[in-house]
Structure 1
Amino acid sequence: MQKTRLSYAVLAALATTPTLAQEANTGAKLETIEVTATKRTESIQDVPVAVSALNGETLENLGIDSFQDYVEFLPNVVFQGTGPGMNEIYIRGAATTQSNIMLSSVQALQPSVAFYLDEQPVSMAGRNLDVYATDIQRVEVLPGPQGTLFGASSQAGTVRMITAKPDHSGFAVGFDSNIGFTKGGEMSNAVEAYFNMPLTDDLAVRVAAYNDRQGGWIDNILNDPGNGGYIGSAQVISRISGGVLTNPAEMDANRITNPAISSPEDADVVSPRNDSLVEDDFNDAVYAGARFGLSYHINEDWDLLVQHTQQTLETEGVFAYDPNLEGESSTNRFQPEENNDEFGLTTWTLEGRMEKLDMVYTGGYLDREIDTLADYTGYTNGGLFSAYYVCSYNASDDTSEDRCLDPTKFFREDTTSTRSTHELRFNTTMDTPWRVTAGLFYDNQEVATVGQFNIASTELFPDMARTLVGNEGINSDGGPFPADISFINDITHTIEQVAVFGQFEYDITDSLTASVGARWYQIDDEYKGSTSTVDVSRRIRAFGTMDESELAAVGLNPTLVNEAVQSGQLQVDLLDSDGVLSVDDTIWKFSLDWKVNRDILLFANYSEGFRPPVTNRVGGGLATNQSGKFENFRIPVYSTTDTLDNYEIGMKGDFFDGQVRVNATAYYSEISDLQTSRFDPTNISFLVFTDNVGDAEIRGLDADITWLAADDLIISGAFSLLDTELTSVNSELEGISAGVGSELPYSASFSGNINARYFFEIEGDMRGYVNGSVSYTGDRLAGMVMDAYVMEDATQLIYGTGSGLKIEDEGDVYEGVTYSDSNGETFRGGRYVQEAYVLANLAVGVTNDEWKAELYIDNVFDEHAILNIDTQQFTPKVVTNRPRTIGIRLSYDYY
Structure 2
Amino acid sequence: MISRFIGARRIPISATPGALFVLVSSALLVTAPTAAAQEGAQEDQQDQQETERDDDSFAEEITVTSTKRDELLTEVPISVTVVDGESLERQRAEDLDDLVAVVPGLSVTSASPGTTRITLRGINTGGVASTVGVYVDDVPYGSSTGLANGAVLSGDFDTFDMARVEVLRGPQGTLYGASSLGGVLKYVPNRASTEGFAGRFRVSLEDVEGGGDGFHLTGALNLAVSDQFAVRLSGFTREDAGYIDSIGNNPIPSLTDPANPIFDGTLVIDGINEVQRTGGRLSALVQPSDRFSLHLVGQLQGIESDSPSTVDASPTTFRPLLDEPVQSRYHAQFSNTDYEVLSATLNWQLGDVSLESISSYSTLEQDSQTDTAIATALTGGPPLSALLTFLFGDPATNPLSAIFPNLVTTDKITQEVRLLSVDSDSFEWLLGAYYTDEESEIAQQLLTVAAGTDDPVAAIPPLAVVSLESTYEEVAVFGNASWHVTPRFELSFGARVSDNEQVASQISDGALVGGLTMFDEVRSSETPVTFSISPRYELGGASSIYGRVATGFRPGGPNVLPPGAPPDTPSTYDSDRLTSYEVGYKAISSRGRVSFDAAVYLLDWEDIQLLAVVNNFGINANGGTAESRGAEFTIGLRPVNGLTLSLNGAYTNAELTQDTDPVVGGMDGDPLSWVPELSFGLYGDYAWPISDEWIAHVGGMVAYVGDRPANFDDRTPGGQVVEFDAYTTVGVNGGVDFGRWSVELYAKNLTDEMGITSVGGTGFLPNGAISLGQIRPRTVGLSLGTRF
After TM superposition, the score normalised by the length of structure 1 is: 0.75
Structure 1 gap ranges (5+): 1-7, 99-108, 233-265, 396-400, 466-480, 542-578, 623-631, 789-806, 812-829
**Deviation by residue 1:722-775 (Cα, 9 ceiling, x = unmatched):** 111211124xx2485121111111111101110011233323321222111010
Q: 1:11 to 1:349 in 2, by over 3 A?
A: closer
Q: 1:230 to 1:359 in 2, by over 3 A?
A: farther
Counterpart position of 1:555:
none
- The counterpart of 2:92, out of the listed 27, 52, 63, is 63
Specify the SS of the correspondent of 1:729.
Answer: coil
Equivalent runs, 1:195-274 vs 2, <5 Å: 195-223=221-249
**Deviation by residue 1:113-146 (Cα, 9 ceiling, x = unmatched):** 0000111111331311221111111000000000
| Greater Cα offset, 62-71 or 139-148 | 62-71
Matched residues in 2 for 1:347 and 1:389: separation?
A: 47
- The counterpart of 2:472, out of the listed 484, 495, 498, is 495
Matched residues in 2 for 1:609 and 1:538: separation?
A: 35
Counterpart position of 1:880:
774
Shift in Å, 1:394 = 9.2
Shift in Å, 1:604 = 0.2
CA contact (8 A) 1:145 1:607 kept: yes
Q: Which has the higher helix share?
A: 1
Counterpart position of 1:605:
548
Matched residues in 2 for 1:65 and 1:388: separation?
A: 39
- The counterpart of 2:582, out of the listed 619, 644, 648, is 648
Counterpart position of 2:18:
none
Shift in Å, 1:297 = 0.9
Asked which structure has the greater RCO (Cα within 8 Å, sep 6+), the reply is: 2
Specify the SS of the correspondent of 1:148.
Answer: helix
Specify the SS of the correspondent of 1:322.
Answer: strand
CA contact (8 A) 1:536 1:617 kept: no
Counterpart position of 2:657:
727
Counterpart position of 1:859:
749
| Greater Cα offset, 28-37 or 144-153 | 28-37
Aligned: 1:111 with 2:101: no
Q: 1:83 to 1:517 in 2, by over 3 A?
A: same
Amino acid in structure 2 at the alignment position of 1:70: L
Amino acid in structure 2 at the alignment position of 1:765: E
Q: 1:345 to 1:850 in 2, by over 3 A?
A: same
CA contact (8 A) 1:11 1:714 kept: no
Amino acid in structure 2 at the alignment position of 1:758: Y
Counterpart position of 1:818:
none
Specify the SS of the correspondent of 2:437.
Answer: strand
CA contact (8 A) 1:351 1:361 kept: yes
Q: 1:498 to 1:271 in 2, by over 3 A?
A: farther
Instruction: Select the structure of larger CA radius of gyration.
Output: 1
| Greater Cα offset, 46-55 or 863-872 | 863-872
Counterpart position of 2:483:
506
Specify the SS of the correspondent of 1:709.
Answer: coil
Aligned: 1:289 with 2:279: yes
Amino acid in structure 2 at the alignment position of 1:485: P
Amino acid in structure 2 at the alignment position of 1:860: L
Matched residues in 1 for 2:269 and 2:388: separation?
A: 32
CA contact (8 A) 1:371 1:412 kept: yes
Q: 1:407 to 1:744 in 2, by over 3 A?
A: farther
Counterpart position of 1:591:
534
| Greater Cα offset, 203-212 or 309-318 | 309-318
Amino acid in structure 2 at the alignment position of 1:671: W
Aligned: 1:441 with 2:431: no
Counterpart position of 1:160:
186
Equivalent runs, 1:527-546 vs 2, <5 Å: 527-532=504-509, 533=513, 539=519, 541=521
CA contact (8 A) 2:446 2:463 kept: yes
Q: 1:11 to 1:872 in 2, by over 3 A?
A: same
Matched residues in 1 for 2:554 and 2:58: separation?
A: 42
Matched residues in 2 for 1:393 and 1:313: separation?
A: 35
Shift in Å, 1:196 = 0.5
Matched residues in 2 for 1:832 and 1:590: separation?
A: 39
Shift in Å, 1:850 = 3.3
Q: 1:644 to 1:346 in 2, by over 3 A?
A: same
Q: 1:762 to 1:675 in 2, by over 3 A?
A: same
- The counterpart of 2:412, out of the listed 411, 414, 419, is 419
Counterpart position of 1:797:
none
Shift in Å, 1:343 = 2.5
Q: 1:35 to 1:368 in 2, by over 3 A?
A: same
CA contact (8 A) 2:32 2:84 kept: no
Matched residues in 2 for 1:712 and 1:836: separation?
A: 33
**Deviation by residue 1:649-669 (Cα, 9 ceiling, x = unmatched):** 000111374322111010001
Q: 1:650 to 1:540 in 2, by over 3 A?
A: farther
Shift in Å, 1:540 = 5.0
Shift in Å, 1:224 = 9.6
Counterpart position of 1:767:
695
Counterpart position of 2:327:
331
Q: 1:32 to 1:387 in 2, by over 3 A?
A: same
- The counterpart of 1:616, out of the listed 559, 564, 567, is 559
Matched residues in 2 for 1:431 and 1:834: separation?
A: 51
Counterpart position of 1:299:
289
Matched residues in 1 for 2:268 and 2:89: separation?
A: 37
Shift in Å, 1:402 = 12
Counterpart position of 2:206:
180
Counterpart position of 2:15:
none
Aligned: 1:169 with 2:195: yes
- The counterpart of 1:737, out of the listed 661, 665, 686, is 665
Aligned: 1:193 with 2:123: no
Matched residues in 2 for 1:606 and 1:162: separation?
A: 26
Specify the SS of the correspondent of 1:710.
Answer: coil
CA contact (8 A) 2:631 2:652 kept: yes
| Greater Cα offset, 740-749 or 523-532 | 523-532
Counterpart position of 1:673:
607
Shift in Å, 1:300 = 3.1
Shift in Å, 1:407 = 8.1
Matched residues in 1 for 2:259 and 2:402: separation?
A: 15
Aligned: 1:372 with 2:368: yes
Q: Which has the higher strand share?
A: 2
Amino acid in structure 1 at the alignment position of 2:528: D
Shift in Å, 1:618 = 3.4
Cα RMSD (Å): 3.4
Aligned: 1:664 with 2:598: yes
Matched residues in 1 for 2:306 and 2:352: separation?
A: 55
Shift in Å, 1:847 = 1.6
Q: 1:295 to 1:171 in 2, by over 3 A?
A: same
CA contact (8 A) 1:756 1:771 kept: yes
Q: 1:886 to 1:635 in 2, by over 3 A?
A: farther
Equivalent runs, 1:75-154 vs 2, <5 Å: 75-98=104-127, 109-124=128-143, 125=150, 126-154=152-180
- The counterpart of 1:73, out of the listed 90, 102, 111, is 102
Amino acid in structure 2 at the alignment position of 1:453: L
Aligned: 1:691 with 2:617: no
Specify the SS of the correspondent of 1:413.
Answer: strand
Q: 1:489 to 1:590 in 2, by over 3 A?
A: same
Amino acid in structure 2 at the alignment position of 1:670: D
Shift in Å, 1:883 = 1.0
CA contact (8 A) 2:36 2:85 kept: no
Specify the SS of the correspondent of 1:717.
Answer: strand
Shift in Å, 1:207 = 0.3
Specify the SS of the correspondent of 2:359.
Answer: strand
Matched residues in 2 for 1:216 and 1:650: separation?
A: 43
Between the two proteins, what is the percent identity of the paired residues?
A: 24
Amino acid in structure 2 at the alignment position of 1:772: G
Q: 1:658 to 1:635 in 2, by over 3 A?
A: same
Matched residues in 1 for 2:502 and 2:32: separation?
A: 51
Aligned: 1:358 with 2:354: yes
CA contact (8 A) 1:855 1:887 kept: yes
Counterpart position of 1:835:
725
Shift in Å, 1:448 = 1.5
Counterpart position of 2:307:
317
Shift in Å, 1:893 = 2.0
Specify the SS of the correspondent of 2:180.
Answer: coil
Shift in Å, 1:231 = 5.9
Specify the SS of the correspondent of 1:58.
Answer: helix
Q: 1:761 to 1:392 in 2, by over 3 A?
A: closer
How many pairs align?
A: 722
Counterpart position of 1:889:
783
Shift in Å, 1:61 = 1.5
